[in-house]
């Protein structure tokens, strides 16, 4: 199928113009054409339509090829321009080519028309593609420059073949350096904290040798000597042989986030210590004398608190090899089924360690409520108060204060202590 071609003919001879159109048709084109003879006619034709190519006679009574070239330049039109002339000297050809003509054809050798048109159209298409590529590159560079200005990250580019390292102004600014400072790989590497250098080397080696992602957190020294946290990310390029040729990436400041994380961890540790202190205070285990422990329970006895009391008692009984434990619930206002269940659990656990547990201080209203609810504490030894429990322990031979020692010095101190109890 013939290729359409819009042809503007600057020619004073209708016969010569018709001959040119016939040559184009024989060469595989389907031309649509218009003939003009003056500058005004050419300008009007350019206003009316879009053209693919311009043919011009070199010299005409009212116009010339050089004049036609000036019209195209004034309109900044990149159109193939071919001079078709009966006689043109080398000097004029050179002048026309310098002025922007694509080619020239002598009228007595019209066989050159088709090759000249083909070449001129290819040249124009190549120039168009090059302009588009340059425009796309310019737009890409502008977008990149805009992104760099808008980003808070620093950029770096390391040519592994030459060893040259580029660091952006923003990266130097992040480290407190001026534009002319911090040059070369050695200069940048010297800023890495000693504790992070091996990890950074390993991450870079894994990326270059195994193409693992390069994403590493490290500390860098500023010009003022302060160490700040950064995240270095990068991507390398490899040649056909698999050798890395360059690596480029970014540097993000993580100092604010790292400081916040450290503050949060410190706060969590403080909360943990406070919770541990509260847990210990909520289950104070008191060694009344050797072999006898007591733990006062105040407030509600829920599952979490019962677990804390049990842990504390088990540790204390094991450590002191105690034979008697007194759980004082005088401060527990109400005794629900859950509370009674927790007491039974504590008593059973202590019994497995060989310690006898006595529960004292159940309030009258709590006892009445337990009876009404049918709560059974028959498996637990219960006494009215701490004095009675201590007497029971002495009589049973509590630890080092046994029956044989009851009349001794320790026994006397124990009896005196019991007498001072309410």
Q: What is the pLDDT of residue 278?
A: 57
Over the stretch 238-288, which tens digit does the pLDDT of each residue have? 998 889 999 999 999 899 888 888 888 888 888 777 766 655 555 688 887
The neighbouring-strand residues paired with 251 are 154, 232
Confidence of residue 404 (pLDDT cuts 50, 70, 90): very low
Contact 236, 205 (CB under 8 A): no
Residue 105 and residue 92: Cα distance in Å, rounded?
Answer: 13
Residue 125 and residue 53: Cα distance in Å, rounded?
Answer: 12
Confidence of residue 409 (pLDDT cuts 50, 70, 90): low
Q: Does the pLDDT of residue 333 top 80, yes or no?
A: no
Q: Residue 37: which residues within 8 A CB-CB, separation 6 or more?
A: 10, 11, 12, 60, 61, 62, 63
For the chain, the three-class secondary structure string (H helix, E strand, C coil) is CCEEEEEEEECCCHHHHHHHHHHHHHCCEEEEEEEECCHHHHHHHHHHCCCCEEEECCECCCCEHHHHHHHHHHCCCCCCEEEEECCCCHHHHHHHHHHCCCEEEECCCHHHHHHHHHHHHHHHHHHHHHHHHHHHHHHHHHHHHHHHHHCCCEEEEEECCCCCEEECHHHHHHCCCCCCCCCHHHHHHCCECHHHHHHHHHHHHHHHHHCCCEEEEEEEECCCCCEEEEEEEEEEEECCCCCEEEEEEEEEECHHHHHHHHHHHHHHHHHHHHHHHHHHHHCCCEEEECCEEEEEEECCCCHHHHHHHHHHHHHHHHHHCCCEEEEEEEECCCCCHHHHHHHHHHHHHHHHCCCEEEEECCCHHHHHHHHHHCCCCCCCEEECCHHHHHHHHHHHCECCECHHHCCCHHHHHHHHHHHCCC
* pTM of structure: 0.44
Q: What is the pLDDT of residue 380?
A: 84
Q: What is the pLDDT of residue 170?
A: 87
Question: Which one is predicted more confidently, 282 or 17?
Answer: 17
Q: For a pLDDT cut of 90, what percent of the chain falls above it?
A: 33
Region 194-215: mean pLDDT is 93
Mean pLDDT of the chain: 84
Q: What is the pLDDT of residue 47?
A: 93
Region 42-57: mean pLDDT is 93
Q: What is the pLDDT of residue 415?
A: 47
Q: Does the pLDDT of residue 193 top 90, yes or no?
A: yes
Which of these ranges, 70-84, 113-127, 204-218, 358-372, has the smallest mean pLDDT? Answer: 358-372
Structure tokens at 292: 């006898």
Residue 117 and residue 121: Cα distance in Å, rounded?
Answer: 6
Which of these ranges, 52-61, 120-129, 143-152, has the smallest mean pLDDT? Answer: 143-152
Q: What is the pLDDT of residue 332?
A: 76
| Strands 154-159 and 165-167, sheet pairing | antiparallel
For 226-242, the three-class secondary structure string (H helix, E strand, C coil) is CEEEEEEEEEEEECCCC
Over the stretch 60-92, which tens digit does the pLDDT of each residue have? 888 988 999 999 989 988 899 999 887 777 778
Confidence of residue 403 (pLDDT cuts 50, 70, 90): very low
Q: Does the pLDDT of residue 46 top 90, yes or no?
A: yes
Region 356-367: mean pLDDT is 86
Confidence of residue 400 (pLDDT cuts 50, 70, 90): very low
Q: Does the pLDDT of residue 8 top 90, yes or no?
A: yes
Over the stretch 166-176, which tens digit does the pLDDT of each residue have? 888 888 988 99
Over the stretch 315-325, which tens digit does the pLDDT of each residue have? 888 888 888 99
Q: What is the pLDDT of residue 416?
A: 56
Residue 310 and residue 289: Cα distance in Å, rounded?
Answer: 20
Highest mean pLDDT among 89-98, 233-242, 322-331: 233-242
Q: What is the pLDDT of residue 418?
A: 47
């Amino acid at each position: 199928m013939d290729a359409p071609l819009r042809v503007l003919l600057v020619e004073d001879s209708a016969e010569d113009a018709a001959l040119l159109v016939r040559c184009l048709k024989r060469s595989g084109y389907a031309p649509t054409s218009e003939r003009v003879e003056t500058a005004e006619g050419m300008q009007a034709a350019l206003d009316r339509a879009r053209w693919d190519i311009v043919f011009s006679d070199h010299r005409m009574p009212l116009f010339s090829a050089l004049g036609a070239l000036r019209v195209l330049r004034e309109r900044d039109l990149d159109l193939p321009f071919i001079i078709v002339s009966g006689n043109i000297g080398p000097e004029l050809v050179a002048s026309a080519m310098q002025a922007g003509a694509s080619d020239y054809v002598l009228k007595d050798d019209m066989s050159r028309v088709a090759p000249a048109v083909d070449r001129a159209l290819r040249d124009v298409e190549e120039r168009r593609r090059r302009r588009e590529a340059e425009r796309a590159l310019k737009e890409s560079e502008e977008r990149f420059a805009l992104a760099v200005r808008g980003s808070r990250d620093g950029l770096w580019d390391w040519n592994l073949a030459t060893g040259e390292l580029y660091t952006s102004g923003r990266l130097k600014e992040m480290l407190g350096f001026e534009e002319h400072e911090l040059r070369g790989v050695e200069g940048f590497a010297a800023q890495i904290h000693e504790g992070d250098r091996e990890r950074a080397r390993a991450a870079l080696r894994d990326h270059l040798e195994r193409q693992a992602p390069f994403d590493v957190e490290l500390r860098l020294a500023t010009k003022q000597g302060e160490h700040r946290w950064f995240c270095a990310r990068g991507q390398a390029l490899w040649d056909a042989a698999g050798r890395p040729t360059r690596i480029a990436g970014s540097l993000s400041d993580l100092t604010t986030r790292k400081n916040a994380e450290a503050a949060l961890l410190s706060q969590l540790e403080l909360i943990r210590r406070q919770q541990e202190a509260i847990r210990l205070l909520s289950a104070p285990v008191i060694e009344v004398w050797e072999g006898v422990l007591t733990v006062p329970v105040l407030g509600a006895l829920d599952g979490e608190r019962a677990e804390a009391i049990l842990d504390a008692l088990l540790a204390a009984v094991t450590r002191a090899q105690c034979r008697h434990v007194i759980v004082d619930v005088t401060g527990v206002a109400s005794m629900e089924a859950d509370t009674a269940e927790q007491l039974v659990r504590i008593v059973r656990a202590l019994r497995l360690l060989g310690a006898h547990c006595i529960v004292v201080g159940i309030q009258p209203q709590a006892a009445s409520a337990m009876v009404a609810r049918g709560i059974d504490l028959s498996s637990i030894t219960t006494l009215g108060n701490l004095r009675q429990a201590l007497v029971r322990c002495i009589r049973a031979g509590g630890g080092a204060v046994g029956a044989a020692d009851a009349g001794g010095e320790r026994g006397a101190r124990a009896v005196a202590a019991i007498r001072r109890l309410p």
